[in-house]
C-alpha cells in the first residue's frame, strides 16, 4: 500500500514537473517572437539589425503582446527575487551567456529542479519505489543539466577559436580596403557565422553605447575565455598607442592562429583514443551500478547495510574521483 501511494505521488510530481518545464520552454520561445516595445524601438538605432515593427492589435490599437502564464510568471518572479544578488545568480548568468541560451537564471534553476525531480520519479518508478533508485535519479537529474550546459559552452568556445583566424583575415582585408576598425568589425558581424558574428555584434553595440572598442572586445575575450582573442585585443591596444600597420599585424596574428589551430586539431586527433578510453572507464562503473540497482538491487544491498559495505563505497568513491582527475590530466593536452 505504501509503495502504491508513493507511485501515485511520484506520477503526479512527474506530470507537474513536465508541465512547468514545458511552460518555461514555450515562454522562452515566445519571448523571441514577442513584438518589440517602445523602449526597444527607441534603442533600435544602437543595434546591429533593425527591430521589427511592433504588431498592432486591430481592435484596440495597442501593441499585441503575448505574456507569460500567470502561475509560471509568479514562480519565475519569486525564484528571481530569491536569487537576486547571490553568487549563484552570477554564475548561472555567466554560464547561460557563454552557452547562448535565452533563459534567465531563475528559469534555468526551475528547469534544473524539474529535471532532477523528473529523473528521480522515473527511476523511482522503474526501481519499484526503492529509495536508492530515487536518490540515483535525483543525482542524475542534478548533474546532467549542468554537464549539458558546460558541453554547449565548451563547444561554442571551440567554434569561436576555430573561426578566429578567418575573422582576423577578413578584418585585415577590410582595413586594407579603407575601412575603419568599427566598420571592419561591422563587416564581420554581417558576413560572419555564429558565434563570432554574435559576440562581435554585442561588442559593436556596446561601442555605440559609449564603451571603447578595445574594452568591448576585451569583454568578449573574457566571456569566451579565449586567450588567442586576448592577444588580438592587446595588438589593437598597442597599435592605438604606438601606431603602425594594423592590417599587417592582424595578418601575422591570423597566420599564427591558423598554425595553432592546425596543431590543436592534430593533437585532438592523436589523443582521441585516450579520451574515449577515459569516458568508457569513467562511465562503466556508474552505468553498471545503476543497471544492477534497477534489476538486481539485492546484489548491491550489502553495500549500504553493512559496515564493510560502507567502507567499500567510500573507498570506491575516493579511488574513482582520483582516477577521473588522473585521466583528465593524461588526455588533456594544452596547445
- Local confidence band at 284 (pLDDT 50, 70, 90 cut-offs): confident
Q: Where are the domains of the chain?
A: 2-29+70-156, 163-258, 272-331
Please give the CATH architecture assigned to the domain spanning 163-258: Up-down Bundle (1.20)
Tell me what percent of the residues of the chain surpass a pLDDT of 70. 75
- Local confidence band at 62 (pLDDT 50, 70, 90 cut-offs): very low
CB of 200 closer than 8 Å to CB of 192: yes
Is the pLDDT at 273 greater than 50? The verdict is yes
Dist CA 253 CA 95 (whole Å): 29
Residues 6+ apart with CB under 8 A from 162: 261
Nearest to 13 by CA among 5, 78, 69, 103: 5
For residue range 156-185, list pLDDT tens digits in order: 988 898 888 888 888 888 888 888 888 888
In this prediction, residue 262 carries a pLDDT of 85
Measured in degrees and rounded to the nearest 5, phi and psi for residue 63 equal -65, 130
- Local confidence band at 122 (pLDDT 50, 70, 90 cut-offs): confident
Dist CA 199 CA 246 (whole Å): 21
In this prediction, residue 12 carries a pLDDT of 57
Cα torsion 198, 204, 208, 210: sign: positive
Dist CA 195 CA 158 (whole Å): 10
Is the pLDDT at 19 greater than 80? The verdict is no
**How many residues in total does the chain contain?**
335
**DSSP 8-class letter at 68:** P
315 φψ region: left (φ > 0), alpha (ψ -120 to 50), beta (else): alpha
Residue whose C-alpha cell is 511552460: 23
In this prediction, residue 228 carries a pLDDT of 84
In this prediction, residue 121 carries a pLDDT of 81
Q: Which grid cell sits at 261?
A: 589551430
CB of 285 closer than 8 Å to CB of 331: no
Cα torsion 121, 150, 78, 21: sign: negative
Q: What is the mean pLDDT of the chain?
A: 76
**DSSP 8-class letter at 211:** -
Amino acid at each position: 500500500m505504501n509503495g502504491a501511494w508513493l507511485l501515485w505521488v511520484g506520477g503526479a510530481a512527474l506530470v507537474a514537473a513536465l508541465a512547468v518545464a514545458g511552460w518555461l520552454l514555450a515562454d522562452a520561445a515566445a519571448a523571441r517572437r514577442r513584438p518589440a516595445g517602445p523602449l526597444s524601438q527607441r534603442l533600435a538605432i544602437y543595434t546591429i539589425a533593425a527591430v521589427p515593427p511592433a504588431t498592432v492589435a486591430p481592435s484596440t490599437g495597442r501593441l499585441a503582446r503575448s505574456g507569460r502564464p500567470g502561475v509560471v510568471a509568479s514562480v519565475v518572479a519569486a525564484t528571481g527575487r530569491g536569487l537576486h544578488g547571490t553568487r549563484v545568480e552570477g554564475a548561472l548568468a555567466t554560464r547561460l551567456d557563454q552557452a547562448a541560451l535565452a533563459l534567465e537564471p531563475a528559469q534555468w534553476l526551475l528547469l534544473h529542479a524539474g529535471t532532477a525531480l523528473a529523473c528521480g520519479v522515473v527511476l523511482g518508478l522503474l526501481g519499484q519505489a526503492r529509495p536508492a533508485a530515487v536518490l540515483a535519479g535525483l543525482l542524475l537529474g542534478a548533474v546532467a543539466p549542468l554537464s549539458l550546459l558546460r558541453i554547449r559552452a565548451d563547444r561554442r568556445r571551440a567554434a569561436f577559436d576555430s573561426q578566429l583566424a578567418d575573422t582576423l583575415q577578413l578584418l585585415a582585408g577590410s582595413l586594407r580596403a579603407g575601412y575603419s576598425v568599427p566598420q571592419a568589425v561591422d563587416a564581420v558581424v554581417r558576413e560572419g557565422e555564429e558565434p563570432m558574428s554574435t559576440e562581435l555584434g554585442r561588442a559593436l553595440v556596446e561601442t555605440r553605447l559609449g564603451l571603447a572598442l578595445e574594452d568591448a572586445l576585451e569583454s568578449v575575450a573574457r566571456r569566451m575565455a579565449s586567450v588567442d582573442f586576448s592577444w588580438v585585443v592587446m595588438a589593437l591596444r598597442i597599435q592605438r598607442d604606438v601606431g603602425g600597420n594594423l592590417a599587417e599585424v592582424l595578418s601575422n596574428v591570423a597566420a599564427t592562429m591558423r598554425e595553432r589551430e592546425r596543431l590543436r586539431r592534430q593533437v585532438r586527433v592523436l589523443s582521441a583514443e585516450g579520451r574515449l578510453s577515459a569516458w568508457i572507464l569513467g562511465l562503466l562503473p556508474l552505468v553498471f551500478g545503476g543497471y544492477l540497482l534497477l534489476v538486481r538491487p539485492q546484489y548491491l544491498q550489502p553495500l549500504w547495510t553493512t559496515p564493510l559495505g560502507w567502507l567499500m563505497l567510500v573507498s570506491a568513491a575516493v579511488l574513482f574521483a582520483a582516477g577521473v582527475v588522473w585521466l583528465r590530466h593524461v588526455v588533456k593536452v594544452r596547445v
